[in-house]
């Protein structure tokens, strides 16, 4: 949690973007596993955290632009709650700690909103991503399920994105804490992985490190010998000599800021010749993408900088052929690099994705429908203050190879006979987090081991 003035200033900046009306913020509620007193781990809505800093369930807030007031709505704890869950500071004291001017019981929210709607005042709200939040909006504003999803305030979305996209120094410091813990998680995994272990043993250790640092993991851990599956959350495989292990995980700080790193390393003490060849192509693509980061550069261009290196590397292995630029335009590289180069990061690991990538990552650009390129989450020109990931990969996905080969898709650029020899290879990816500066980019947090020599040295330690 930051100092009181941080939250006051954030709200003042937001409020200045509106001529009048109410800005409504609904914090998250506990989500029951099977009944109300047995919930999943609570995670506050990131926008609520950004403007109010209060990590407690069942809170809401209104900024009245006309009156210049901020009210937090919540109910004081019952004695039953205190007996079972312990005491907490009062709503009033917590609101005062973030500079809110007033507090009211949660039941007062409906009355205040009802009066505003009856008076014809604008009530701005953000798009809901949880079913219970949509239901609350329906009840509070007397709107249909469709309107709860479609009548979100475009003005408020743009205003929030325009603030949260630009990270302040204190936010960057918090992200660097998350990345530092994330590096420790990755180094531990590289050191501990051994044949006959289960993937879940690695996953358990990295989660332990995140929790021991005072936070949690920022997203479900990807810890797998099947790196060709981009978001593989199954951890039941047994690790074997000769496998490649892909770990995509990051820590979240107590304030809600995320780190996001990916490492691929050999379970053996060394990469095989084939593994080394593919890995070094991928790492060269990573280095090229990082070198291209600068204000004013389109992230679409950063993406294609990496894809160009990957395609040329695949040509060197005999898998790809033909003119590189023509192949990139056609999307031939996507058979081995089917995702985008990275995404914005902050309080959400995919920052503000709930507000819509059209606002966060595209800023008016038309999204491609081409396989691979359509998964690029960020195309807009980079600006100082942006925090983003760089994460190229090379994947040999048997099912995708079969579909493309049957269709003879882009056969002028792909040697399917040669590609099929690599179908059981798996996948490799490398990822770190960067801040765009006034004259380039800065890696956030300590550098993690990622060259072949560095990874092999750790595997032998």
Mean local confidence (pLDDT), 92-100:
95
Q: How far apart are CA 157 and CA 172, in angstroms?
A: 22
- Say whether pLDDT at 146 is over 90: no
- Output the pLDDT for position 101: 84
- Output the pLDDT for position 95: 95
Q: Tell me what the pLDDT averaged over the chain comes to.
A: 97
Mean local confidence (pLDDT), 403-418:
98
Mean local confidence (pLDDT), 174-196:
99
Which CATH number does 169-459 carry?
3.90.230.10
Provide the 8-state DSSP code for 335.
Answer: G
- Output the pLDDT for position 285: 99
Mean local confidence (pLDDT), 105-134:
97
Beta-carbon-side half-sphere exposure of residue 431 (alpha carbons within 13 Å): 29
* Confidence category of residue 1, pLDDT binned at 50, 70, 90: confident
- Type and span of the H or E element at 76: none
- Output the pLDDT for position 30: 94
Mean local confidence (pLDDT), 173-197:
99
- Output the pLDDT for position 128: 96
- Tell me the DSSP string of 225-294: S-TTSTT-----PBP-TT-EEEEEE-EE-TTS-B--EEEEEESSSS--HHHHHHHHHHHHHHHHHHHT--
Mean local confidence (pLDDT), 117-131:
97
Residue with tokens 């798009």: 127
Residue whose C-alpha is closest to residue 173's, from 431, 445, 433: 445
- Output the pLDDT for position 350: 97
- Say whether pLDDT at 360 is over 90: yes
Sequence ranges of the domains in the chain: 4-164, 169-459
Check if 4-164 and 169-459 are the same fold. no
- Output the pLDDT for position 145: 86
Give pLDDT tens digits for 292-349. 999 999 999 999 999 999 999 999 999 999 999 999 999 999 999 999 999 999 999 9
CA angle, corner 340, sides to 335 and 342, nearest 5? 145
Domain 4-164 belongs in CATH node 3.40.50.2300: no
Q: Over pLDDT 90: what percentage of the chain?
A: 93
- Say whether pLDDT at 407 is over 90: yes
Instruction: Work out whether strand 251-252 and strand 216-217 pair parallel, antiparallel, or are unpaired.
Output: antiparallel
Q: Of 4-18, 236-250, 352-366, 408-422, give the lowest mean pLDDT range.
A: 352-366
* Confidence category of residue 39, pLDDT binned at 50, 70, 90: very high
Give pLDDT tens digits for 428-440. 999 999 999 999 9
- Output the pLDDT for position 77: 86
């Amino acid at each position: 949690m930051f100092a009181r003035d941080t939250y006051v200033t954030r709200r003042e900046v937001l409020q200045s973007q509106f001529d009048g009306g109410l800005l409504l913020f609904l914090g998250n509620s506990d989500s029951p596993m099977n009944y109300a007193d047995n919930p999943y781990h609570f995670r506050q809505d990131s926008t609520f955290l950004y403007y109010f800093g209060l990590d407690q369930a069942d809170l809401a807030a209104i900024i009245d632009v006309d009156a210049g007031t901020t009210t937090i709505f919540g109910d004081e704890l019952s004695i039953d709650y205190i007996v079972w869950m312990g005491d907490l500071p009062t709503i009033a004291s917590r609101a005062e700690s973030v500079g809110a001017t007033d507090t009211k019981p949660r039941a007062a929210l409906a009355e205040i909103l009802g009066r505003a709607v009856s008076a014809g005042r604008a009530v701005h709200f953000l798009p809901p991503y949880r079913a219970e939040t949509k239901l609350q909006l329906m009840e509070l504003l007397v709107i249909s399920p469709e309107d709860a999803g479609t009548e979100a305030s475009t003005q408020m979305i743009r205003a929030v994105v325009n603030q949260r996209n630009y990270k302040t120094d204190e936010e960057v410091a918090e992200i660097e804490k998350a990345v530092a813990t994330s590096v420790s998680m990755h180094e531990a995994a590289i050191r501990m992985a051994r044949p006959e272990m289960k993937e879940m043993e690695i996953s358990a250790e990295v989660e332990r490190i995140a929790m021991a640092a005072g936070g949690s993991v920022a997203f479900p851990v990807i810890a797998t010998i099947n790196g060709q599956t981009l978001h593989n959350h199954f951890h039941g495989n047994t690790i074997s000599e000769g496998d490649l292990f892909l770990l995509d995980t990051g820590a979240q700080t107590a304030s809600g800021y995320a780190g996001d790193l990916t490492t691929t390393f050999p379970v053996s003490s060394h990469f095989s010749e084939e593994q080394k060849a593919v890995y070094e192509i991928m790492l060269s693509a990573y280095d090229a993408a990082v070198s291209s980061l600068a204000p004013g550069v389109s992230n679409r261009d950063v993406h294609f900088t990496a894809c160009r290196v990957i395609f040329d590397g695949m040509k060197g292995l005999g898998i790809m052929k033909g003119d590189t630029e023509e192949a990139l335009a056609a999307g031939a590289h996507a058979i081995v690099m089917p995702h985008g180069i990275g995404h914005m990061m902050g309080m959400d690991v995919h920052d503000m994705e709930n507000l819509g990538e059209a606002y966060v990552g595209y800023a008016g650009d038309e999204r491609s429908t081409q396989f691979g390129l359509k998964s690029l989450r960020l195309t807009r020109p980079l600006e100082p203050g942006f925090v983003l990931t760089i994460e190229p990969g090379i994947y040999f996905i048997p099912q995708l190879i079969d579909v493309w080969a049957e269709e003879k898709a882009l056969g002028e650029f792909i040697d399917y006979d040669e590609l099929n020899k690599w179908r059981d290879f798996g996948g490799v990816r490398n990822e770190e987090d960067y801040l765009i500066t006034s004259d380039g980019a800065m890696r956030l947090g300590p550098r993690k081991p990622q060259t072949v020599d560095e990874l092999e040295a750790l595997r032998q330690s």
